[in-house]
Amino acid sequence: MKTVVITGGVSGMGLAATKLFLQKGWQVAMADYNQQLGEQVLATLNSEHLLFVQTDVSQASSVNALKTAVFDRFGHVDSVINNAGIFTKGALHEVAEDAWDRIMAIDVKSVYLTTRAFVPAMIAQRSGTIVNTASVSGLMGDYNMAAYNAAKGALINLVKAMALDYGRYNIRVNNVAPGPTMTPMFAANPQSVIDQFKQASPLGKLAQPEDIARSLFFLASEDSDPITGQTLPVTAGFGLHSGQPVQ
Ligand SMILES: NC(=O)c1ccc[n+]([C@@H]2O[C@H](COP(=O)([O-])OP(=O)(O)OC[C@H]3O[C@@H](n4cnc5c(N)ncnc54)[C@H](O)[C@@H]3O)[C@@H](O)[C@H]2O)c1
């Protein structure tokens, strides 16, 4: 059975991915900071092919413990989905130093830490895929989102470097770049805000977590071979605009 590690796998698009990979017959290790939710998801999905490991993806010791837990249980890894992420608001000078460090650690350093933990086994087996959840906010700037733009923008170039370095080992590395997506966090906005976002989409709708999960699965699976080093926008049309007013 194929094995995937999904960080942030207990909520939002990560949870949708956990369910899809299970449906597709993969073994799934959910790595998430939220112990309570992790145990709840584990109990609800009730699958012998599902593991939850309480993990802080920004801490080397925690990611190394995740590696040990995954290999103890499943013996191998075919794919890592780096999906855990946080958001910080504000123009650059308004971002607190600890908030800047935190978003860089959780959204960017985490990819370094999981790669350091899992890539050696992928190199040894001469196969593997890594998929990161970037964002349309890594492709374009947004008002009052400087730190998030910087963090997600880093992933856009990082996949190219990783794809170059690991291609010779038959390891493919790609990003999904979601637009605004109806995860529980986003759905908690007032209806008027959600409507504003829908109106800004050429399709008149927002992506659903399940839409992002299908693209994560596609890039993790053989169906996407030989795509590597790419960022796939899944945005319902966000990010297409040159900024000119509507005519
Ligand atoms: N929702 C959107 O509109 C949107 C758009 C573009 C990109 N994204 C990105 O998608 C990814 C998933 O977001 P979501 O919307 O599903 O949000 P979410 O908050 O529902 O899920 C994020 C998960 O990451 C976990 N997490 C946070 N910090 C962690 C840490 N240090 N270690 C381990 N786990 C940690 C949280 O516990 C949570 O379960 C994020 O990287 C986010 O930046 C979201």
- Tens digits of per-residue pLDDT, 219-233? 999 999 999 999 999
Ligand 1 atom at shortest distance from the alpha carbon of 84: 24
Distance from C-alpha of 113 to C-alpha of 127, rounded to nearest angstrom: 19
- Dihedral angle, C-alpha 58, 153, 18, 226, nearest 10 °: -120
List pLDDT tens digits, range 181-208: 999 878 888 999 999 999 999 999 999 9
Beta bridge partners of 130: 80, 173
Rounded to two decimals, the pTM is: 0.98
Q: Which of 183, 185, 194, 232 to mutate to test the pocket of ligand 1 (most atoms within 8 A of CB)?
A: 183
Three-state secondary-structure class, residue 232: strand
- Length of the chain equals 247
Task: Report H helices in the chain.
Answer: 12-23, 35-45, 60-74, 97-104, 110-125, 146-166, 184-187, 191-200, 209-220
- Assess whether the previous peptide bond of 233 is cis (omega < 30° from 0): no
C-alpha 9/C-alpha 17 separation (Å) is 7
Determine the atom of ligand 1 nearest the C-alpha atom of 9: 39
Ligand 1 interacting residues, C-beta cut-off 6 A: 7-8, 10-14, 32-34, 55-58, 83-87, 106, 133, 135, 178, 180-181, 183-186
Predicted confidence at residue 186, as pLDDT, reads 87
At 18, phi and psi to the nearest 5? -55, -45
> Residue 183 and residue 12: Cα distance in Å, rounded?
5
* Mutation to probe ligand 1, out of 6, 20, 30, 32 (largest number of atoms < 8 A from CB): 32
Q: How confident is the model at residue 246 (pLDDT cuts 50, 70, 90)?
A: confident
Helix (H, G, I), strand (E, B) or coil at 83: coil
Name residues whose C-beta falls within 8 Å of residue 4's C-beta, 6 or more positions apart in sequence: 21, 26, 27, 28, 29, 77, 78, 79, 80, 81, 220
| pLDDT band at residue 243 using 50, 70 and 90 as cut-offs | confident
Residue 60 and residue 113 in contact, taking contact as beta carbons nearer than 8 Å: yes
User: Exposed e or buried b for every residue in 230-246, given b needs 16+ CB within 10 A?
Assistant: bbbbbbbbbeeeeeeee
Query: Average of pLDDT values for 150-154?
Result: 98
Cα of 194 from ligand 1 centre, angstroms: 19
Q: Looking at residue 220, what is its pLDDT?
A: 99
Protein residue with its CA nearest to atom 41 in ligand 1: 85
- Give the pLDDT confidence of 41-84 residue by residue, as tens digits: 999 999 999 999 999 999 999 999 999 999 999 999 999 999 99
Q: Which domains does the chain have, with CATH numbers?
A: 3-181+209-232 (3.40.50.720)
DSSP 106: I
Rounded to an integer, what distance in angstroms lies between the CA atom of residue 217 and that of residue 129?
10
Atom of ligand 1 nearest to the CA of 15: 16
For residue 246, report the distance from its CA to the centre of ligand 1, in Å. Answer: 32
Mean pLDDT, the chain, whole residue set: 97
Cβ proximity of 96 and 179 under 8 Å: no
- What is residue 44's predicted lDDT score, i.e. its pLDDT? 98
pLDDT(6) > 90: yes
C-alpha to C-alpha distance for 225 and 83, rounded to whole angstroms:
21
Distance of CA 84 from the midpoint of ligand 1 (Å): 4
Mean pLDDT of 21-30: 98
Residue scoring higher pLDDT (13 or 188): 13
- Residues with a catalytic annotation lie at 148
* pLDDT tens profile 89-141: 999 999 999 999 999 999 999 999 999 999 999 999 999 999 999 999 999 99
